[in-house]
């Protein structure tokens, strides 16, 4: 363990130096941009991926899915990573915050030499948001509490009284983007990184398309072993008629968002002063309509999903390598009382031995914006590059605030 302590101490020093170099990068969102020192120049390239929509609200329409790429201009990268978002926060604030040393995708492109792509599904971020420009398509209670008097003067019935997206429409979009990346970069497989509810997309997708998936990295995965099952011969067909009744979106205000984050901040120095302002501003930069609704600091429009196919039956069919990383203070992953710490159950249910689980001290669900993001950056780089972390390919570990990993009994 002393050798591993030395190695991890070294990489923390390297990360500190990299953070200083990263601070010289522009904090803009756009393409292309470059580092201005002797580190590899990182291109930012925005793609519009064509796709025939299977979202019920615009089924059959040709849409353009937003995908951002970060790649070193001086390397012919052949290790390709696709990052996807969770239930609410669009992909760019999580993967490409554009502020100093918080850019996860930048770290992977610069330090790991990866070609990193980031996808917004329909209903989120810079991809199309069908039916989400109408404030009447917000639940009545939120119209009353948030949208009156801006932009509504009174409540109104929804013009589209259904939930917006579903498991299949997201799997279809993920498949379109994976095939697009495979074609333009000449690779057979893509490594998938999913945050939070992103596990509902990448996990079942890897079961359905193991020939296209190099590995999975599940960051703070939401998982219920007894979650809603699909039907049909492969178990992934919708279990009910679609679309389901409801509204296409809900709203999250800044106070509501911080009420999810603040209870997880329990360590000194866990969150840098001012970073919550930066994060909310980035979310608003990715929601041109939401930032004009409601209170002066805007609202985050969150697409309404109907999901299935992510449960113990699906996990028991996973054949690709899997790494799980969770903050020890994460309250969002504890949403199923029958299965506290369900990520342990997730790890145990994966049927093969090429799997790792890391629990990170002094980190919550939003570790990507906290001090321990450096652990997340390093572990993700090692896993995606080598399929191992500090030589380990299987096992359960904790990581302390010094960056030292400690094997745990499974």
> Which tens digits make up the pLDDT trace of 310-369?
999 999 999 999 999 999 999 999 989 899 899 999 999 999 999 999 999 999 999 999
Residue 99 has what pLDDT? 87
Domain positions in the chain: 2-129+172-245+310-408
C-beta of residue 49 within 8 angstroms of C-beta of residue 141: no
Pairing of strands 299-303, 249-253: antiparallel
Residue 410 has what pLDDT? 53
C-beta of residue 127 within 8 angstroms of C-beta of residue 120: yes
Question: 202-213 pLDDT, tens per residue?
Answer: 999 999 999 999
- The C-alpha atoms of residue 168 and residue 158 are separated, in whole angstroms, by 24
- The C-alpha atoms of residue 257 and residue 346 are separated, in whole angstroms, by 27
The Cα-based distances of 286 to 128, 166, 252, 279, 366 in angstroms read: 12, 22, 14, 11, 18
Question: 62-93 pLDDT, tens per residue?
Answer: 999 999 999 998 766 679 999 999 999 999 99
Range 141-168 average pLDDT: 98
Residue 3 pLDDT more than 90? no
Q: How confident is the model at residue 403 (pLDDT cuts 50, 70, 90)?
A: very high
Residues 22, 275, 400, 259, Cα dihedral to 10°: -150
Residue 38 has what pLDDT? 55
Question: 113-137 pLDDT, tens per residue?
Answer: 999 999 999 999 999 999 999 999 9
Residue 16 pLDDT more than 50? no
Residue 73 has what pLDDT? 86
Q: Tell me the two tokens of residue 399.
A: 């990581």
Q: How confident is the model at residue 31 (pLDDT cuts 50, 70, 90)?
A: very low
Q: Which CATH number fits domain 2-129+172-245+310-408: 3.40.50.1820, 3.40.50.300, 3.10.620.30, 3.60.15.10?
A: 3.40.50.1820
């Amino acid at each position: 363990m002393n050798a591993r302590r030395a190695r991890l101490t070294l990489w923390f020093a390297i990360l500190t130096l990299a953070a200083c170099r990263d601070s010289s990068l522009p904090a803009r969102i756009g393409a292309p941009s470059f580092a201005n020192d002797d580190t590899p120049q990182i291109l930012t390239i925005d793609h519009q991926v064509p796709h025939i929509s299977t979202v019920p609200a615009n089924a059959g329409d040709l849409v353009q899915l937003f995908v951002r790429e970060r790649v070193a201009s001086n390397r012919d990268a052949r290790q390709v990573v696709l990052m996807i978002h969770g239930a609410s926060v669009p992909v760019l604030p999580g993967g490409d915050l554009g502020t100093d040393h918080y850019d996860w995708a930048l770290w992977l492109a610069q330090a790991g030499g990866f070609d990193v792509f980031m996808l917004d599904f329909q209903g989120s971020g810079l991809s199309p948001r069908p039916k989400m420009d109408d404030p009447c398509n917000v639940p009545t209670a939120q119209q009353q509490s948030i949208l009156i008097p801006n932009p509504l003067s009174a409540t109104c019935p929804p013009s589209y009284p259904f939930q917006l997206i579903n498991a299949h429409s997201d799997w279809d979009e993920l498949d379109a983007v994976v095939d697009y990346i495979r074609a333009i970069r000449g690779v057979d497989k893509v490594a998938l990184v999913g945050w939070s509810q992103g596990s509902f997309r990448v996990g079942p997708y890897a079961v359905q398309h193991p020939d296209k998936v190099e590995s999975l990295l599940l960051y703070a995965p939401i998982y219920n072993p007894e979650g809603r099952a699909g039907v049909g011969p492969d178990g992934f067909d919708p279990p009910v008629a679609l679309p389901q009744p409801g509204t296409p979106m809900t709203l999250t205000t800044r106070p509501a968002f911080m009420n999810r984050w603040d209870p997880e901040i329990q360590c000194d120095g866990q969150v840098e002063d001012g970073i919550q302002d930066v994060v909310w501003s980035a979310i608003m930069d990715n929601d041109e309509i939401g930032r004009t609704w409601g209170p002066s600091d805007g609202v985050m429009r969150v697409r309404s999903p109907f999901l299935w196919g992510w449960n113990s039956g699906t996990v028991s069919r996973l054949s690709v390598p899997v790494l799980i990383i969770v903050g020890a203070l994460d309250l969002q992953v504890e949403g199923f009382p029958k299965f506290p710490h369900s990520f342990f159950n997730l790890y145990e249910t994966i049927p093969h031995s090429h799997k790792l689980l890391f629990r990170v001290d002094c980190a919550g669900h939003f570790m990507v914006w906290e001090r321990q993001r450096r652990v997340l950056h390093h572990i993700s780089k090692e896993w995606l590059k080598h399929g191992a972390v500090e030589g380990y390919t299987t096992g359960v570990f904790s990581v302390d605030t010094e960056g030292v990993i400690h094997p745990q009994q499974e």
